[in-house]
Chains A and B, each alone.
Chain A
Amino acid sequence: MTTATFLIQYLNALQYGLLLFLVASGLTLIFGIMGVINLAHGSFYMTGAYMAYALAPWVEGHLGGGFFVTLAVGVILAVALGYVLEWAFFSYLHEREHLQQVLMTYGLILVFEELRSLIVGDDVHGVKAPEWLAGSIPLGDVMTYPVYRLFMSGVCIVLALAMYWLFRHTRLGMRIRAGSTNREMVQNLGIDVSRLYRVVFAGGVALAVFAGMLAAPVSSVYPGMGNQVLIVCFVVVVIGGIGSIRGALLASLLIGVVDTFGKVLLPQAAGVLVYVLMALILLWKPGGLFKAG
């Protein structure tokens, strides 16, 4: 493997890992705070990708277009969606068993997939990256690397830092951290937990939708794309430790590297490698790398 190929694969690994982190952090947050195993999280990612496809023409027509405007509209819609979903489907399940919630999210996956099929159809769509990001930069003599992928990694890093700031240095972040450690205690201290739940759920949905919108130009938009991401995100959450954002970041990057280099070096076993990694880490640390609470 030459230096240039190595560098390209490395950048791909980084970009994949960071994207996974965006999706998985929402999953781990929702679980850490609400105790909900959200199987529908992959559907939110898919929804995001389809939004990138479907919203762009609308934004073009009504708001004058623009990549960031489309992203902003998508995120606003996602927050609203998350808020309404939590109110409509989860707010009365808090006292019930986890399994009831699993069942609920399973039902939601089916509904989301079919609504998507009814509204936009089952075709695979490509989404164009904005023109000012469409080029590529040279690496070595013959290789090039697309600017958009670098841009994605950059955006993910900025978001990760913003999340770090939110959790460490704001009141909301403090409540979320406290909530993931001891829910009852937070409630007893007079904090409106159901509002906190709704905010966290909406935030998690927004992260997944944002990740989907960001990934659309690279991965293209296709039915079932959410499920694939969901399962890998489960592995991320398990490796990182449920409820731990730090763990999710480390685990995402680890999986990004293992999966990307696995596909190059060991193509026959690439699908299995990630799960072998998880099994090994669990043998070593049954609670994940950073066990929260």
Chain B
Amino acid sequence: MRATSVPQTVFTVVVFVALAGYAFVGGSFGLDLITKIMIYAIFALSLELIAGGVGLVSFGHAAYFGIGAYAAVLLTPKDGAASLVLLLPAAVCAAALYALAVGALSLRTRGVYFIMVTLAFAQMAYYVAHDTPLGGGTDGIYLTQKPAIGEALNLNQPVMIYGFTLVVLAAVFLFLALLNRSRFGHALAGIRVNEQRMRAMSYSTFGYKLAAFTLSGAIAGFAGFLFAVKDGFVNPELMSWHLSGAVLVMVILGGLGHLRGALIGAFAFVLLQEFFKSEAIFGALAKHWHLGLGLAIIVSVTLLPNGLVGLPAEIKRHLAGTPRDNT
């Protein structure tokens, strides 16, 4: 795996400390926004696990996100709040199961095929939510009672959701960082670099890939669960390919192959979105915020081949005036 340098660790720790500190000073709008970003960051981390770690680019990750969200709503009883201890694992398992099934089928393909096949399976889930009355159809459904653990943890207050999401984000980040250093993580990296060789070394690469894919789906489902709890509402758009595309953009924008890339990408994407949406700056053009976002993405692809993570190196290179070594 790539070695982690001291400045990078310091950067990550500072980010998490700042996020924790914000819980005490943030207003309700800020807390809600940052919670959303952190949920996307968890989602982006799940994609980073397979896209950056194994080299399997899934273009249908919104399906697992959406299934986690839908499960959170559908499994909550009509007459009262569900227990978080039961509801959360159930939602995560639902997403993981679909990921297991999709992975078992789509991992037979590779490269660009894999991208398109995962997309198509996500569309399948999308149309089930969209066309059948199961999940309220196009209108979606509301989550009236948010899950809780007794009186101790009630996810109705913004600051509680913020804290809970932050803890989950930190745990997922740490877990994936440890995973990358484990035997399993090394095997995944080996598969990314040269799958033939790994097979020659008697690794059952299919099993490793499937395990990583399922785990990734489970984490995406976790993020979806948090999203449903935060908004108290789910609709088929949570499974749409726009969201799959957006999370892929976050990962690539941040820098594929780096855990903190997913973190930076989620922040950059949502903050850019908010920036171009702000009427104070763009006035009447704010309505057309997609234009600015699209142009920003194009500029970043053109200038930053390694994503935002590569920005310091890119600046250093410019100052020193040496040519780019890896394009």
List residues of A whose CB falls within 8 A of some B CB.
31, 35, 37, 39, 89, 92-93, 95-96, 98-100, 102-104, 106-111, 113-115, 117-118, 227, 231, 234-235, 237-238, 242, 268-272, 275-276, 278-279, 282-283, 286-288
Contacts and interface: CB of A to CB of B under 8 A. Distances in A.
A106 B291 CA distance: 12
Given A114-B291, A115-B291, A269 B57 contact: no
Contacts of A234: 116, 119-120
The B interface is mostly helix, strand or loop, or mixed, namely helix
Contacts of B106: 282
Contact of B112 (A96, A98, A111): A98
Given A98-B112, A287-B113, A272 B128 contact: yes
B124 A276 contact: yes
B295 A111 contact: yes
B275 to A, nearest CB: 14
Contacts of A109: 294
Contact of A96 (B109, B123, B327): B327
Interface of B: 51, 57, 105-106, 108-109, 112-113, 115-117, 119-121, 123-124, 127-128, 130-132, 241-242, 245, 248-249, 252-253, 256, 288, 290-291, 293-298, 301-302, 305, 327
A263 to B, nearest CB: 11
Given A89-B298, A275-B127, A110 B293 contact: yes
Q: Which 10 interchain pairs have the tightest Cβ spacing?
A: A110-B294, A271-B127, A107-B297, A114-B291, A111-B294, A275-B124, A107-B298, A110-B290, A286-B108, A107-B294
Nearest to A283: B105
Given A100-B305, A114-B290, A275-B127, A282 B297 contact: no
Contacts of B105: 279, 282-283
Given A107-B298, A110-B297, A270-B131, A275 B120 contact: yes
A30 B109 CA distance: 20
Nearest to A93: B301
Given A110-B293, A111-B290, A234-B120, 19 more contacts: A35-B112, A89-B298, A98-B112, A100-B301, A100-B305, A103-B249, A106-B248, A106-B249, A107-B293, A114-B294, A118-B291, A227-B241, A231-B241, A238-B120, A268-B132, A271-B130, A275-B127, A282-B109, A286-B109
A272 B120 CA distance: 10
A106 B127 contact: no
29 contacts: A89-B298, A98-B57, A99-B252, A99-B256, A100-B301, A102-B115, A103-B252, A103-B253, A103-B301, A107-B294, A107-B295, A109-B294, A118-B288, A118-B291, A227-B242, A234-B119, A237-B116, A242-B112, A268-B132, A271-B127, A271-B131, A275-B124, A278-B117, A282-B105, A282-B106, A282-B117, A283-B105, A286-B108, A286-B113
B252 to A, nearest CB: 5
Contacts of B112: 31, 35, 37, 98, 242
B301 A107 contact: yes
Nearest to A238: B116
A27 to B, nearest CB: 10
B298 A104 contact: yes
